[in-house]
Structure 1
Amino acid sequence: MSENIRALLVGATGLIGRTVIARSPDLRGLVLQALARREMKFPQGARIELVLAPSEEWPNVVQQLSPEALICALGTTRRKAGSNEARREVDHDLVLEFATAAKEAGVRNFVHVSSVGADRYSKNAYLQVKGETEHDLKALKFHRLDILRPGLLRGRRENDIRPLEALGQMVAPMADMFLSGGKSKFRSMRAPDLADAALQAASSKAGGQFIHEHDAIMRLAREFQRALAVAEEAE
């Protein structure tokens, strides 16, 4: 991993954000900050600075903090947002407003958590918005843009009951065995693996635009985990 990189996490209160924060005691050479609208309970041992601000002030906060890397785990559901339009305000408009401010602030690495199947031409409203967001992020031309497209995430959410997702998590390990070849991108993954992949992308030096589906996400995660193991052995 690169040395002395300051990374900002947005979407800290969700499953992905909390899992990234849980990794903070293990990080080497990566200084992690989180941006949120409200106070949150950190996992035990977490080492992270939490910056509180209403979402409309986030672009200004990003410019003030001026991190080298940014992990965007923003997202909502129609049930929580209330409508497709309200969900779009978060999944597209807020993400793009935030990313534009990041670009202007000199952020080099932008990591965005999207979804498997994202396609701006999709007839599915959720996947269409995800695809449009990806398309517009590419146009900003960050030094490095990593778009992560996970399938079903396996992990415990805080104060967010999703019965169908919980059922899916139960059957996912068995279902994954039947997803091979071109269907492997739909395999589920553990939230910690996605978090490790995001941290690896945030700390990578090489430039370019990258879309990572299941297998590529897992490669990033393993690279991050190997780097941590090497650092621990060297201590």
Structure 2
Amino acid sequence: MSKKAIIIGASGLIGSELLSVLLHSSAYTEVIALGRKPLNIQNQKLKEIITDFSNLSEIKGQIKADVIFCCIGTTRAKTPDLNSYRKIDHDIPIEIAKIAVENQVQQYHLVSALGANAQSSNFYSKIKGQTEDDLKVLNIPAIHIYQPSLLSGNRKEKRMAEKIALVLMKVIDPLLIGSLKKYRSIKTSVIALAMYQQSLKEDQGIFTYPSDIIKEIV
């Protein structure tokens, strides 16, 4: 059975990996990328909807698919204003999820983060946790939440702190065993492949995958 997907955040680290997987998959015949800028990718399966996400109610008729993948996110360095940060990491994913309910979308896949907790004193973890909690109460048949640890991938922008952290993690990762395995760094390609594979299943319910479980899926 052919599937139609919508992906939000297709230009990002995980989103770009996932988009490539979807476009090369025989299981998906149409992929809609919702984003602020054109991707400059030529593929007969790909359709782009350019939006600044302030007019989602006006384009909700186009947000129809079997599966929605939400890979959108930001950082404090790129978005220092906390209200803008919350809009990107919480408001947009939840508004799209509410439209998904109206349009009877069967699956919603969200990239969150390890340690997401609505009660956390850490702003990043708190926003991720609130987004997860607000998503879980919506009437979507299948909700899949991915909680990766430190991401390993080819970023367009340079982040010196992350580069240093990834070098350190090459040494530390093997030492993280048992319940600590979920803190090992993870490749973005692995996350993308796990999201794709889970989307092919017809399971219903709410599923949460910490970093170590994501690796087991693949």
Q: What stretches of structure 1 of length at least 5 have no aligned partner?
A: 223-235
Q: 3-state SS of the aligned residue for 1:215?
A: helix
Identity in percent: 29
- The structure in which a higher percent of residues are helix is 1
Tell me which residue corresponds to 2:33: 34
Tell me which residue corresponds to 2:19: 21
**TM-aligned CA deviation for residue 53 of structure 1:** 2.2
Decide whether the 8 Å contact of 1:76 with 1:87 is kept in 2: yes
The number of residues matched between the two structures is 217
Match of 1:217 among 183, 189, 214: 214
State the one-letter code of the partner of 1:48: L
**Aligned partners of 2:163 and 2:80: how far apart in 1?**
21
Decide whether the 8 Å contact of 2:21 with 2:196 is kept in 1: no
**Cα-to-partner distance string for 1:2-56 (whole Å, 9 max, x where unaligned):** x2111110011111111112223431212322111111244x9795322222212
**Aligned partners of 2:167 and 2:61: how far apart in 1?**
42
State the one-letter code of the partner of 1:102: A
Decide whether the 8 Å contact of 2:100 with 2:140 is kept in 1: no
Q: Residues 88 and 206 from structure 1, CA distance in 2 versus in 1: closer, same or farther, beyond 3 angstroms?
A: same
* TM-score normalized with structure 1 length: 0.86
Asked if residue 196 in structure 1 is aligned to residue 193 in structure 2, the reply is: yes
**TM-aligned CA deviation for residue 209 of structure 1:** 0.3
**TM-aligned CA deviation for residue 172 of structure 1:** 2.1
**TM-aligned CA deviation for residue 107 of structure 1:** 0.8
**TM-aligned CA deviation for residue 181 of structure 1:** 1.5
Of 192-201 and 147-156, the range deviating more from structure 2: 192-201
**TM-aligned CA deviation for residue 67 of structure 1:** 0.4
**Cα-to-partner distance string for 1:107-162 (whole Å, 9 max, x where unaligned):** 1100000000001111111101100110000000310000000001111112x222
* TM-score normalized with structure 2 length: 0.92
Q: What stretches of structure 2 of length at least 5 have no aligned partner?
A: none
